[in-house]
Structure 1
Amino acid sequence: MRFGLNKSSLGIAGATAALALVLTGCGGGGQTAKVGTVEDPVVLRFAWWGNDSRAKTTLEVIKDFEAANPTIKVQGENTEFSSYWDKMATQIAGGTTPDVFAMSGSYPSEYSSRGVLLDLAKVKDQLDTSKFAEGTVDLGKIDGTQYTITAGVNSMSMVIDPVVFEKAGVKLPDDETWTWDDFADIAAEITKKSPQGTFGTTPMANDSFLAVWARQNGEDLYSEDGKKMGISEDTLTKWFELNKKLMETGGAPSASQTVEDGSAQPELTLMGQGKQGMKISWSNQMTSYSGSPLVMMKMPGESKEPGAWLRSSMEYAISSKSAQPKEAALFINYLVNNMDAAKKIKSDRGMPANTELKAGITPLLKDSQQKEAAYLDRIAELKIAAPKPFPAGSSSTLEVLNRYNTDVLFGKVSPRDAAKGMISEVNQNLG
């Protein structure tokens, strides 16, 4: 990743010996830290979401960390994404929050507002961000306080299947010039010229993509104070209209097939089966699709008014109630700064923010991952600042968006009424 280095740092990695600390502040719990020894080590709990492959790799990295830090043991807790947040909510309510846990989306804002997350300034000597790419440290800041450290970065992208294009006799788009109208026209042309069951695209109902759409239209998804939606009714209406147009012109499948495809595992989607020409996707998900070698491009409209940004695909946080915050920080530091760990994790959690690690793992990446790295370089070159973290109360926005989009596709509500309803409902959640 060719991003410029961020000159600011949370601190320089400290010694690996266990360090005593009495937690103070919101949610501190007043617990006294244990001083670990080889015979009686400190025990940390680390929770993350993912599949079996991610779990296997993570457990290997944990063993390496323990070998290098014999006074610390780490208990790994892996959960499928669909149930991860419910499990976290239960543990937090029961006072059994893991010491270190994975975060994403609006959850850092939600959790920090409730005092669940540790202010990482308290463990700055154990966390080194001096080699992080420009802007990636700030991805973990909320109202100026550092609550998380990015585990890796990704971005919204357009994944292209060149084989589908070739079989349909359709030219690949120029992603420096194409528009959303071009996208819709190309999608319809691919479907028309392909065998039955193959489509140009499928709509993507994702709040992060909606944030890109808003930014391309000179707006933000949420207001500056996070108390209401920032996207206008007109801009949101146009987004619903695009998805409806894709279906009505044949560029996308029926409403029922779109819903089914949206809930399928990546390899079972139309894209995964080689039956889709274009798919809006997180950049690090391209490797999940099976079938033909794929290409990653910028989304339509990016050259006119860029909306995509480098974001955290996963973030690491420390519980404000952890009795061992400094050891927890040492573990996070190992995950994001150790070359051996990076060579095992590779881009599974997004491309490393540490530019030296990124350079070190690049030769080890598969072809599709190499394409992702090159794409993220292109996004970085745009030098587009990330929006503020999604605010507390916005974790349900994705569900609201999907529900209204489905109603639009099934003809139950007009795009305009969907926009009005969604803005009203999300504003109530934020309020």
Structure 2
Amino acid sequence: MRGWTKVFQLKKSAFLATSALAAAALLLTGCGAANSPEKEGTADDPVTIRFAWWGNDARAKTTLEVIEAFEAENPGIKVKGENTEFSSYWDKMATQVAGGDTPDVITMSGSYPSEYSSRGVLLDLEKVQDKIDTSTFAPGTVDLGQINGKQYTITAGVNSMAMVLDPAVFKAAGVEVPDDETWTWDEYQDIATKITEGSPAGTFGTTPMANDSFLAVWARQGGEPLYADDGKKLGISEARVADWMKLNLELQKSGGSPTASQVVEDGSAQPEQTLLGQGKQGMKVSWSNQMNSYSGNELVMMKLPGESEQGGTWLRSSMEYGISAKSKNTAAAAKFVSFLVNSEEAGKLIKSDRGMPANLDVRSVVKPLLEENQQKEAVYLDRVAEMKLTPPLPFPAGSSATMEVLNRNMTDVLFEKAPPEAGAAKFVEEVNLNLDK
């Protein structure tokens, strides 16, 4: 592994489930690429690889431009792009895997690298270590693709949890913007309530966050991991989960947050149609790269409450690239992955759409091209990096349903169908059952 260590800087010691179809499909896959020598493509007789990703039409247009640039530089390789909306991406992927029709290069996120690598779907990238150079990646970002000491993915870009604020809402309510180096969750609650009290009807201080990645931040701030190191059960305690549910129920009762039905409606709205997007919300826990999706007033990005006492956030892969273990063209696939993450030409096209580039050389080229909100994200991510917080282990196999379980039980608490303690207990029980399968 010495050569691999130079390229990937591997550590020596050692993230909604789509359906039952996904698990069953993955179990049907075989492990390992074909043993026959790979074909060397030429301009007259190129090899063809398939690249799958999710996203809207704008992302598809940009990605096809990147593919065109890659093919111009590599005339012996053709890339067939396959774009799917996120809502159906993983169901489609599971079907393809089950049918032995897995794309060569797969875009991944969350717990799916763990799910897929544990069933032999992803190639151990040690086999193509000479094709992907990560020597200029930001410290720690290569490690984000490692599972049980093996490199299964390469990060497409990084983002992090943040608090997005609308200063105009603060000003209209007569509330001062907090100091994000010192503020606490108690202050967050107080500020949210004051914003609602000082605003016109229909404008609120905040809305709840029911996301497993945020819950990991909340857990880490309390000195607990979200998942146990062995990935077989949760590491966060029922009490810590109940505290988060209780905090949001209290915010709802004080008026700092909307009613439960409004929260559900806001959670399913497009970014520009959310309360924050309409200029009717003061604060929102959000992924850093999502600030660029909200319309309306000029927004700012701050550290989450509690980060000054014990940091919980970390730089996370917003998207990752893996290669199919059954690909017949792993060298070509690896060369394409390397182009996606290392090419300045690709970086200029993608910018921060898949997260802030992990390659520092590409990032330096991309930064001047970013819009104002994207520039703010870059500054924020630099601040997170300066905290030098160790990322948690990759979310384990079986955890892809955690966000849905959390959201459902949080909703029950907000509708007061269950007290926070019961909602937390049910959440822990359900997730542990998923992890133990």
* Interval containing the TM-score (normalised by the shorter chain): over 0.9
Whether 1:255 and 2:255 are equivalent positions in the alignment is no
- What is the rounded CA distance, in whole Å, between the counterparts of 1:302 and 1:165 in structure 2? 21
**Corresponding residue to 1:245 among 239, 244, 250:** 250
- What is the rounded CA distance, in whole Å, between the counterparts of 1:384 and 1:325 in structure 2? 34
- What is the rounded CA distance, in whole Å, between the counterparts of 1:31 and 1:402 in structure 2? 47
User: Partner of 1:72 in structure 2?
Assistant: 77
Shift of 1:10: 3.0
- What is the rounded CA distance, in whole Å, between the counterparts of 2:368 and 2:264 in structure 1? 38
Q: Which amino acid in the other structure matches residue 135 of structure 1?
A: G
User: Partner of 1:168 in structure 2?
Assistant: 173
- What is the rounded CA distance, in whole Å, between the counterparts of 2:138 and 2:8 in structure 1? 14
Whether 1:50 and 2:48 are equivalent positions in the alignment is no
Q: Which amino acid in the other structure matches residue 129 of structure 2?
A: K
Pairing 1:114-129 to 2, within 5 Å after superposition: 114-129=119-134
Whether 1:333 and 2:331 are equivalent positions in the alignment is no
Whether 1:264 and 2:269 are equivalent positions in the alignment is yes
Query: SS at the partner of 2:239?
Result: helix
User: Partner of 2:7 in structure 1?
Assistant: 9
Query: SS at the partner of 1:9?
Result: helix
Whether 1:88 and 2:86 are equivalent positions in the alignment is no
- What is the rounded CA distance, in whole Å, between the counterparts of 1:260 and 1:299 in structure 2? 24
Whether 1:135 and 2:137 are equivalent positions in the alignment is no
Q: Which amino acid in the other structure matches residue 154 of structure 2?
A: I
- What is the rounded CA distance, in whole Å, between the counterparts of 1:400 and 1:217 in structure 2? 21
Answer yes or no: is the 8 Å Cα contact 2:166–2:283 preserved in 1: yes
Pairing 1:308-319 to 2, within 5 Å after superposition: 308-319=313-324
Shift of 1:405: 0.3
User: Partner of 2:13 in structure 1?
Assistant: none
RMSD across aligned C-alpha pairs, in angstroms? 1.1
Pairing 1:21-420 to 2, within 5 Å after superposition: 26-30=31-35, 32-420=37-425
- What is the rounded CA distance, in whole Å, between the counterparts of 2:203 and 2:96 in structure 1? 44
Shift of 1:28: 2.5
- What is the rounded CA distance, in whole Å, between the counterparts of 1:285 and 1:45 in structure 2? 28
Query: SS at the partner of 1:152?
Result: strand
Answer yes or no: is the 8 Å Cα contact 1:10–1:125 preserved in 2: no
- What is the rounded CA distance, in whole Å, between the counterparts of 2:191 and 2:89 in structure 1? 38
Runs of 5+ consecutive residues of structure 1 not aligned to the other structure:
1-6, 12-24
Query: SS at the partner of 2:39?
Result: coil
User: Partner of 1:3 in structure 2?
Assistant: none
The Cα offsets for residues 169-218 of structure 1, whole Å up to 9 and x where unpaired, read as 11001101111110011001101111111111100100000000000000
Shift of 1:236: 0.8
Shift of 1:293: 1.0
Q: Which amino acid in the other structure matches residue 308 of structure 2?
A: S
Shift of 1:353: 0.4
Equivalent residues, number:
412
Answer yes or no: is the 8 Å Cα contact 1:8–1:129 preserved in 2: no
Shift of 1:101: 1.1
User: Partner of 2:27 in structure 1?
Assistant: none
- What is the rounded CA distance, in whole Å, between the counterparts of 2:410 and 2:36 in structure 1? 47
Seen in structure 2, the aligned counterparts of structure 1 residues 8 and 371 have a Cα distance that, compared at 3 Å, is farther
- What is the rounded CA distance, in whole Å, between the counterparts of 1:321 and 1:89 in structure 2? 15
User: Partner of 2:18 in structure 1?
Assistant: none
User: Partner of 2:20 in structure 1?
Assistant: none
Answer yes or no: is the 8 Å Cα contact 2:105–2:333 preserved in 1: yes
The Cα offsets for residues 127-178 of structure 1, whole Å up to 9 and x where unpaired, read as 0000000000000000000000000000000000011111111100110111
Q: Which amino acid in the other structure matches residue 119 of structure 1?
A: D
Indicate the percent of aligned positions where both proteins have the same amino acid: 68
Shift of 1:30: 4.2
The Cα offsets for residues 63-109 of structure 1, whole Å up to 9 and x where unpaired, read as 00000000100011111111101110010001100000100000000
- What is the rounded CA distance, in whole Å, between the counterparts of 1:232 and 1:370 in structure 2? 37
Query: SS at the partner of 2:7?
Result: coil
Shift of 1:33: 2.2
Shift of 1:111: 0.2
- What is the rounded CA distance, in whole Å, between the counterparts of 1:216 and 1:150 in structure 2? 25
The Cα offsets for residues 368-414 of structure 1, whole Å up to 9 and x where unpaired, read as 00100000000000000100000000000011001000000000011
Q: Which amino acid in the other structure matches residue 217 of structure 1?
A: G
Q: Which amino acid in the other structure matches residue 297 of structure 2?
A: S
Answer yes or no: is the 8 Å Cα contact 2:7–2:130 preserved in 1: no
User: Partner of 1:21 in structure 2?
Assistant: none
Q: After TM superposition, what 4+ stretches of structure 1 lie above 3 angstroms from structure 2? A: 29-32
Shift of 1:29: 4.3
- What is the rounded CA distance, in whole Å, between the counterparts of 2:353 and 2:195 in structure 1? 31
